[in-house]
């Protein structure tokens, strides 16, 4: 039962470097999300995708781009990493409506 798989689990970047966080789900869900979590801030929505081929900005989209490659995969790209992007990133998927969202195990990113 893979559920939602995120890679990598840990990453250290230098300021200005770029990287892509990968997320894949095997539950045939339409909706996928990227959140970041900082101490005392809860989960803040970066981008979400209601269905394959669509993406929308969340609360904190600046500095990020996303790609909904197909129904299974939703990637998050940092084009030029900044120390302010040091955080734990969670990917999630769900069906729209009153259904449970499933999360990946998170990516702990440090930008130095």
One symbol per residue from 39 to 78: x for binding another protein (CB under 8 A), - otherwise; what is it?
A: -xxxxxx--x-x-----x-x--------------------
Q: C-beta of 80: minimal distance to another protein in Å?
A: 26
SS (H, E, C) 17-72: CCEEEEEEECCCCCEEEEEEEECCCEEEEEEEECCCCCCEECCCCCCEEEEECCCC
Interface residues with another protein (CB under 8 A) are: 31, 33, 35, 40-45, 48, 50, 56, 58, 90, 92, 94, 96-98, 100-101, 103-106
């Amino acid at each position: 039962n893979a559920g939602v798989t995120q890679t990598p689990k840990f990453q250290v970047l230098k300021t200005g470097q770029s990287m892509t966080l990968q997320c894949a789900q095997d539950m045939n869900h339409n909706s996928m999300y990227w959140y970041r979590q900082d101490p005392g801030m809860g989960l803040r929505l970066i981008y979400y995708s209601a269905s394959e081929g669509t993406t929308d900005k969340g609360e904190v989209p600046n500095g990020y781009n996303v790609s909904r490659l197909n129904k299974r995969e939703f990637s998050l790209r940092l084009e030029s990493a900044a120390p302010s992007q040091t955080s734990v990133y969670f990917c999630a998927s769900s069906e729209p409506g009153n259904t449970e969202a499933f999360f990946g195990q998170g990516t702990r990113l440090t930008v130095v």
